[in-house]
Amino acid sequence: LPVLEVDEVTGAYGRGARMRQVLAPTTFALHAGESVAVVGPSGAGKSTLADIVLGLRAPASGAVRVQGEAWVEPTRQPVRVQRRLVQGVPQDPAASFVPRWTIRISIAQAVRRLTGVRDADEAILRAAGLAHLETTLLDHRPAQLSGGQAQRAAIARALAVGPQVLVADEPTSALDPETANSVSQALLASAAEAGAGLLIVTHDPHLAQRCTRTVTIAPPQHNS
Ligand code: ADP
Ligand code: ADP
């Protein structure tokens, strides 16, 4: 059973006569340990697809299933039965952590909220190891981390809650090429090792090449 099925999913903004399709019908499946690179021109709807898979918005049509179960359904509020199963690595990770909290506290909070587990120490150390995040950095605040370290911290936070699917939207676009390369490597390796499926939106052909598969999103045809 695939961890993620995206079945004829489309995206749209607005409603009625003002509705505009921004994601052409997209279909693919992702198995545990696999990675899929989502590529396509700017404005094709790649971020829209990432948000739909994250459960942050509903598709206009089609279905998303996580481990065979409906995840988000057209035109309804996203049904996120088990929110922990799909986790995101945001584009601006430093801004996704609470500024006054240490990374450790932010991750512990995410684990507690999404899994109910109160003692997250073991999960945090394991996730930091997977993400190649130095454990001393767990006691830093987000502003004290470099861009690459903040990305690793966000990967660790995502993995600490035990997701089946990891979604990264342009995870390395704000990093210099060398840091981007090592963060991408850590992302691919850690998702595979954790047994999660990885969906990466990327413009980087080298990163796309290292994924199991590439899904190319074509811009939708507008009839305005
Ligand atoms: P990509 O990630 O491939 O560049 P996006 O998913 O970000 O594409 O955007 C697809 C289209 O949807 C673009 O034309 C964009 O302007 C439009 N769009 C994005 N967000 C919104 C929004 N909140 N409201 C209306 N249109 C939006
Ligand atoms: P809540 O609204 O329940 O407090 P958060 O905004 O803290 O939820 O997000 C919880 C998790 O959802 C984050 O740890 C991250 O994995 C994921 N997430 C939320 N928004 C995004 C986003 N825009 N891009 C990627 N991941 C996201």
Tell me which residue has its CA closest to atom 8 in ligand 2: 110
**What is the distance between the alpha carbons of residues 70 and 64, in angstroms, rounded to a whole number?**
6
Q: Per DSSP, what are the bridge partners of residue 200? A: 37, 168
Instruction: Tell me the CA–centroid distance for residue 58 and ligand 1, in Å.
Output: 14
Say what the pLDDT of residue 75 is: 59
What's the whole-model pTM score? 0.88
Say what the pLDDT of residue 224 is: 45
Say what the pLDDT of residue 180 is: 92
Say what the pLDDT of residue 22 is: 92
Among 48, 51, 56, 169, name the best residue to mutate to test ligand 1's pocket (greatest count of ligand atoms within 8 A of Cβ). Answer: 48
Among 13, 46, 170, 215, name the best residue to mutate to test ligand 1's pocket (greatest count of ligand atoms within 8 A of Cβ). Answer: 13
Residue 132: count other Cβ atoms within 10 Å of its Cβ: 17
**What is the distance between the alpha carbons of residues 114 and 91, in angstroms, rounded to a whole number?**
21
Say what the pLDDT of residue 80 is: 54
Residues of the chain with pLDDT under 70: 73-82, 222-224
Residue type, 65: R
Task: Spell out the residues 6+ positions from residue 84 whose beta carbon is closer than 8 angstroms to its own.
Answer: 114, 115, 161, 162, 163
Paired tokens of 146: 């470099």
Q: Per DSSP, what are the bridge partners of residue 20? A: 13
Residue with tokens 């990093």: 175
**What is the distance between the alpha carbons of residues 192 and 38, in angstroms, rounded to a whole number?**
17
Q: Given the CA of residue 45, which atom of ligand 1 is nearest to it?
A: 6
Q: Given the CA of residue 113, which atom of ligand 2 is nearest to it?
A: 3
Tell me which residue has its CA closest to atom 17 in ligand 2: 88
**What is the distance between the alpha carbons of residues 137 and 119, in angstroms, rounded to a whole number?**
19
Residues with CB under 6 A from ligand 1: 13, 22, 40, 42-48
